[in-house]
Amino acid sequence: MERCAARRAPEEERRVRANAREYNEKFQYASNCIKTSKYNIVTFLPVNLFEQFQEVANTYFLFLLILQLIPQISSLSWFTTIVPLVLVLTITAVKDATDDYFRHKSDNQVNNRQSQVLIGGVLRQEQWMNVRVGDIIKLENNQFVAQADLLLLSSSEPHGLCYIETAELDGETNMKVRQAIPVTAELGDTSQLACFDGEVICEPPNNKLDKFGGTLYWKESKYPLSNQNMLLRGCVLRNTEWCFGLVIFAGPDTKLMQNSGRTKFKRTSIDRLMNTLVLWIFGFLVCMGVILAIGNAIWEHEVGVCFQIYLPWDEGVHSAFFSGFLSFWSYIIILNTVVPISLYVSVEVIRLGHSYFINWDKKMYCAKCRTPAEARTTTLNEELGQVEYIFSDKTGTLTQNIMVFSKCSVNGHSYGDVQDMLGHKAELGERPEPVDFSFNPLADPRFQFWDPSLLEAVKLGDLHVHEFFRLLSLCHTVMSEEKSEGELLYKAQSPDEGALVTAARNFGFVFRSRTPKTITVQELGQAITYQLLAILDFNNIRKRMSVIVRSPEGKIRLYCKGADTILLERLHPLNQDLTSVTTDHLNEYAGEGLRTLVLAYRDLEESYYKDWSERLHRAGSAPEAHEDHLARLYDEVEHDMMLLGATAIEDKLQQGVPETIAILTLANIKIWVLTGDKQETAVNIGYSCKMLTDDMTEVFVVTGHTVLEVREELRKAREKMMDASRSVCNGFSYQEKLSSNLTSVLEAIAGEYALVINGHSLAHALEADMEVEFLETACACKAVICCRVTPLQKAQVVELVKKYKKAVTLAIGDGANDVSMIKTAHIGVGISGQEGIQAVLASDYSFSQFKFLQRLLLVHGRWSYLRMCKFLCYFFYKNFAFTMVHFWFGFFCGFSAQTVYDQYFITLYNIVYTSLPVLAMGVFDQDVPEQRSMEYPKLYEPGQLNLLFNKREFFICIAQGIYTSILMFFIPYGVFADATRDDGAQLADYQSFAVTVATSLVIVVSVQIGLDTGFWTAINHFFIWGSLAAYFAILFTMHSDGLFRMFPNQFRFVGNAQNTLAQPTVWLTIALTAVVCIVPVVAFRFLKLDLKPELSDTVRYTQLVRKKQKTQHRCMRHAGRAGSRRSGYAFSHQEGFGELIMSGKNMRLSSLALSSFAPRPSASWIDTLRKKKGGEGSSAGSPSGAADKTLRV
């Protein structure tokens, strides 16, 4: 396999010659080979060991092992360190080898994909990794442009046109048009393309998705190239049988990969804290070693010198000082268990268990997609329980990209609601059968509508209803394709246009075909051809489109549809009463989260149209101010229109999105939407998923184009929030509350606000001198929506919050345009949806629906954080309790580095006796059941505040461990000072003392973990009591006669366990020690539970009460909302196909078509969840001011 990318000097320009590999290879351009694996069979062992010993802990224990091989300083056998070290290295190596195996497998799968490459005049199947810059590639319909960035040379469509979807690049789902330059558009067969030797000189690799500049030199002529001629990696070919493209950028040089950002090694905050604590512990270890070494030097100088005759110093020791020096290293070896080597491997095992729980969770499995949730990393699970900010993409993440014609208003009558027998609005589950469209052989069988009265109005000949659907069938830029008689397929520029034309089709007004000058519609079975005189196309400023048609009777009429804010002010004064009624309907539709469009028409006199048409022609051919002239003429004719009605389209949110956002908000998680779509789209979705509500005090919209404008708009937004806070503060000065810390702004601001900012404004807001102002304003808002943002801007926003807020961030998306923010955030989540797998491949966790995020955080994340914190607290406690006994013993053994326990107990304590119970707690423990975790989102907040494991909790744990070690040593020491055996002999001997202390320790730490365990399983019982049983079994085995006879130098405690544990005094000592160690802990916890219970304690108590009472089910009614109207044109993301249609360039029907939109049941939402959190603030909004909630500052 070739190298993926050699290190090259930065390019100033790129030169690519078609069909000339030798020429292009001299520039050493990047190839398409992907290599993410780290090892091979030869390099695995040395490289992996080298990487593992980069870890400070592993190097530290290797250093201890070397020390233990020095007889002068080692009082422990070498195997007490090498056994745990080898175990840790082996487990880690197996894990690394498994991960790398899957990386090799993934690399091979990607690199061996097949591409059709033109080589020697023949199309050959070539592996993806062998595609080179300058190759000519053939793509076919519905194929991902997965290989490279291509210059479009020719296609199956007329004039070299092709249609693409760029959802994975910019999040937009509407089709876009790309066109080959005329000189290459005719190169349709392989023989012509094989002779093509043009040379492209263009810009070097960059991350600008919407710009490309270059020149094609061919046959002594040069032709300018732009982004309209490029097919970027990540887009999908649609409605085009085939096309040929020239590879310009490959592999890491493609614009998609340039936007992906660097892969960052992610570590949790607990990891970082743990590393700090281990350093502190190591410092504490050194201090203990120094204290005991000084004690040894003093003791040897004052006391030991008196016993030189029968206790001589070791060979080479000539002074008390040197004896103390050697004693220091001896105690470093003995006390090393205070820095536990098993800590890191235990953490990895626990995280692996948590990852499997996520993978196995059936409630996060999507049966429709057959996609389970997947934890693609094992290192971030506990951080899922600490998330404060979620950054979400919109398209494909919050929505399904499915538009449904839901309701409409025609001549003051609203259609679409269905009532039950009692006259109430029927809910989805109570609806009768949908309307029967069997009378219409051309109806789309996938279209559903629930109000039969609209179809009755059509059949009864209601002229207004007929004109309404006639407008929908004529005023659009949809392309129709009829593969067989009656089988119509529509190619819609945007999903909402497809939904509207499909609705007209089902109600009897079927758009059949079009030419550059005509539109044919079948109206209630009769084919009628209208002359198409003009298309006044949509753009972001006009927010409307119109067509001017001539009917067969010769009447000229303008049909217009557009945003209500634009069209209502262009109506004839005679429409005043109808406008009032329609406005009420629009408000009702908006309250249900539907996207609205207003429909109107105007009859034109023949003479006026001729004059207007001539002026339009002159304006179109004007060399200067071309667009301004056209805009004025469009504005002139689109006045004094007659109102027909309004449409309401539902953008199908993913199931459960509003509920999920509501519950996550209650968990004090802030959700920001970062989308490449335009402002109207994002705001519409914000209202639909309840991020934005009309109860909000204000919605600020920042649209400035200059630094000064953006700064001023942000300043005005902050001033408004400050003014509102002053009025609420009852005399307290806002400035007194406001400090330099950004979080103080959040505390001071009263009311609920939202911020909407455009991409061009965000570019200025992210500059160094303004980023703090932007962040301060955004963090004071309940919801933030960033529109028209590039992939890198998404990553910059995430990085900004990480930099200043020091909060855990999570980014979720489904497209390649989300990869950069997924990599930048602390946690990246990929939605395995409709936009490829780039986001999933870059993510840490993946699943198929946004609603699963709620369970991932509130259940798996919270439990993982809880378990890891309890594990760490107990782990440090048990190791301090175990190790500090040696420290106290040092003062009673002449600081001779003698151990309290025998060496086998030291070896097995962390590996056998205490490892499995704490692992069981770390893997299985839970404070409340999963249902309660979802029911009480506030349970999530301790993780955000880092309450369960921090430096304070660490010091409490080690204080408890030190307290336990003091009692563990001094109680048996005091008892043994005067105790006797049953036969009257002295009980106090070193071996009996060691067994007593070791037994007390194992019992106490076992009882302690029993107290710490909140959720008992059979595994917990087996591990805790099994570990105790294993201790006694191993203890009696180690002290047996058989082992002593076989290894007399290794097992010197022969018969000691049997003799010692047969004494009642010993068991009373063990019981006393256990009681004195445990009772204060139990008493403290009871007092805390009684005097200052935590929320989880209250929830557990509530659960016990509920078990005694009959469960009561609450009926939740769907609450409507009178709200701001939002235009369905939010979903037309660019200028329409009007000019293209009128030119006739695309009039050859393709044999392929866009699949239609299948309606699905709509998702319900839970308004009451928000009222739980913001009941007080919701009264701030005035109902009468609903239409003015969006403030353009």
Amino acid at 156: S
Helix, strand or coil for residue 683? Answer: helix
> From CA 137, how far away is CA 227, in angstroms rounded?
18
Distances (CA, A) of 1175 to 194, 671, 695, 816: 70, 19, 10, 39
Looking at the DSSP bridge assignments, the partners of residue 531 are 518, 550
> From CA 638, how far away is CA 117, in angstroms rounded?
51
Catalytic residue among 393, 677, 694, 814: 393
Retrieve residue 478's tokens: 């949809």
Strand residue runs (E) in 305-457: 374-375, 387-392, 399-410, 413-415
Which phi and psi angles does 1059 have, rounded to 5°?
-70, -45
Strand residue runs (E) in 708-865: 753-757, 783-786, 808-813, 827-831, 845-847
> From CA 1063, how far away is CA 1172, in angstroms rounded?
63
Active site residue 564: no
Helices within 336-412 (DSSP H only): 342-360
> From CA 877, how far away is CA 115, in angstroms rounded?
59
DSSP state string for 173-238: -SEEEEE--HHHHT--SHHHHHT---EEEEPPS---TT---EEEEETTEEEEE-GGGEE-TT-EEE
Closest CA to 181 of 129, 228, 238: 228
Residues 6+ away with beta carbon under 8 Å from 663: 854, 858, 934, 937, 1169
Three-state SS string over 522-556 comes to EECCEEEEEEEEEEECCCCCCCEEEEEEECCCCCE
Retrieve residue 759's tokens: 């991409």
Buried-exposed string 495-516: b where 16+ CB fall within 10 A, e elsewhere: bbbbbbbbbbbbbbbbbbbbee
Helices within 224-318 (DSSP H only): 255-258, 269-302
Retrieve residue 426's tokens: 């029927």
> From CA 786, how far away is CA 805, in angstroms rounded?
18
Strand residue runs (E) in 351-455: 374-375, 387-392, 399-410, 413-415
With tokens 């095992």, the residue in question is 349
Q: Are 779 and 717 within 8 A, CB to CB?
A: no
Q: Are 596 and 647 within 8 A, CB to CB?
A: yes
Catalytic residues: 393
